[in-house]
Amino acid sequence: MYKNMIFWNPWWQNDKCKFSLKERDFFQLLKKYLQRKEVVFFTGVRRSGKTSAMYFLIESLLKKVPKENILYLNLDDNVLQFEELADIYSTYKELFPKIIGKKYIFLDEVQNIDSWERWVKNIYDSFENVKFIISGSKSHIIKKQSTLLTGRMIEFEIFPLSFKEFLHFKGIDYQDKIFCISNHSLLLSLFKELIQYGGFPEVVMENDTHLKTILAKEYYDNIKNKDIITYFNIKESKKFERLSLFAISNIGKPLSANKIGSVVGLSPSVVNNYLDFSEMMYFFLTLQHFNYSIKAQITKPRKIYSIDTGLVNSVAFQFSENIGRFIENIVFIELKRNCSEIFYYNERYECDFIVKNGLDITHAIQVCYELNDDNLKREQGGLLEAMKKFKLNEGIILTLIPYSETTVEGVKVVSIIDWLLKEDGIT
């Protein structure tokens, strides 16, 4: 165990230990969480950057605390031999018996350890000066087992790269307004690349387009097989595979459990369970229809989106034929990243997204690939209907190819690229 602990904590022996990290938008925000006592829990889909977030915090801490005060453990490492987290902690204290000050303990992929939450709670409630930063691919761990840590934990969701982060990884200074205006065609090309191959960091950094698709397909298979079928012990694995393929092939469309069940041969109750499992693991996410009646809301079909468009393109259908739905998926993930609650709304026409903050509906957003004479009435109709319903003065149509930059009856047309690159937030 000693050798493996030293392997995962090279700074104990190397004073110049550095990580090769690409800065992400939320990294600086994480520093403030180190000042609080609560356990910080990074959740999100696998390969989205949870470990990198931990390395960033470790690198920051190494500038101001003794290196022995930082313990990182990859609990996905099968070489580590132990029965409980207490065994690791005892070994750590044996290695450094004279530590002074706060200890920072990073537990990566904590779901691999049984009863981790009880041990963390015991240390948290003791008089030991310890700060925990933990991660897990399985967000449902928090929902199912967090009663022990109620009031003691802060969850931080990590998504694949945003468009801003994608450009940063590509070496593009998106904050240079003159450059962005002069190189709109380059930004458009890069945006389409993000849609086609997705925003998983390793996929973005891979230059070979064939390998990008292979990586995305591997991620898709691992999430489906390891995080869902195996973990939840799904017996009808073939039917779940058909369900996941059908769902991910119909992103942005309202799909009822009855409809999905009739296609894949499952009862509506089982379909709903499988959708919940998939959402817990960030495989794909669902969007509910808004209604002030919760009962009416849950009976409406849910719209399904992928956590990453690269996953869809690796298994489902051609990018060029469905770019409008992919753009809608990009907007959905950006809203999830930044907004508290989002829904879709449908009466005579459909409004793709409405944003709810507290008790109030604050924004109505429509998304399309191209705005033209043929679809202008329909796209505006959905917005106007939602604006009237929720007493909004303005609605936004996001499009890749604008029809007009003017506001008509409170409907404002905005370039999707400009919207994603706004400095003052996306809404």
The 10 Å Cβ neighbour count of residue 105 is 21
CA angle 236, 239, 242 (to 5 degrees): 150
DSSP type of residue 359: T
Instruction: Tell me if 95 sits within 8 A of 2, measured CB to CB.
Output: yes
Q: 344-381: b or e for each residue (b if 16 or more CB lie within 10 Å)? A: bbbeebbbbbbbbeeeebebbbbbbbebeeebbeebbb
Q: Which residues contact 405 (CB under 8 A, 6 or more apart)?
A: 413
Q: Please state, in angstroms and as integers, the Cα–Cα distance from residue 162 to each residue in 45, 230, 419, following that order.
A: 14, 30, 12
Q: Which amino acid is at 238?
A: K
Residue that the structure tokens 């003794």 belong to: 66
Residue that the structure tokens 């894949």 belong to: 264
β-strands 153-157, 254-255 pairing: unpaired
φ/ψ of 314, rounded to 5, equals -75, -20
pLDDT of 427 reads 59
Instruction: Tell me if 290 sits within 8 A of 340, measured CB to CB.
Output: no
pLDDT of 319 reads 59
Instruction: Tell me if 172 sits within 8 A of 161, measured CB to CB.
Output: no
Distance CA 255, CA 320 (A): 23
Residue that the structure tokens 């691999």 belong to: 112
pLDDT of 320 reads 62
Distance CA 307, CA 329 (A): 8
Q: Give the residue among 172, 180, 160 at the shortest CA–CA distance from 220.
A: 160
Distance CA 427, CA 422 (A): 9
The dihedral sign for the CA sequence 18, 24, 25, 27: negative
Give the pLDDT of the chain (427 residues) as one tens digit per residue. 778 888 899 999 987 777 889 989 999 999 999 989 999 999 999 999 999 999 999 999 999 999 999 999 988 876 665 567 888 899 899 999 999 999 999 999 887 777 788 899 999 999 899 999 999 866 545 555 556 788 888 989 999 999 999 999 999 998 888 888 888 899 999 999 999 999 999 999 999 999 999 999 999 999 999 889 998 999 999 999 999 999 988 999 999 999 999 999 999 999 999 999 999 899 999 999 998 888 778 888 999 999 999 999 998 766 566 788 999 999 999 999 988 799 999 988 899 999 999 889 999 999 999 888 888 888 889 999 999 999 999 999 999 987 765 567 789 999 999 999 987 656 5
β-strands 411-415, 407-408 pairing: antiparallel
> Which helix (H) or strand (E) segment is 399 a member of?
strand 395-401
Spans of all domains in the chain: 2-157, 163-420
pTM for this prediction: 0.92
Find out if CATH 3.40.50.300 is the number for domain 2-157: yes
β-strands 103-108, 130-136 pairing: parallel
Q: Please state, in angstroms and as integers, the Cα–Cα distance from residue 311 to each residue in 52, 160, 205, following that order.
A: 21, 11, 16
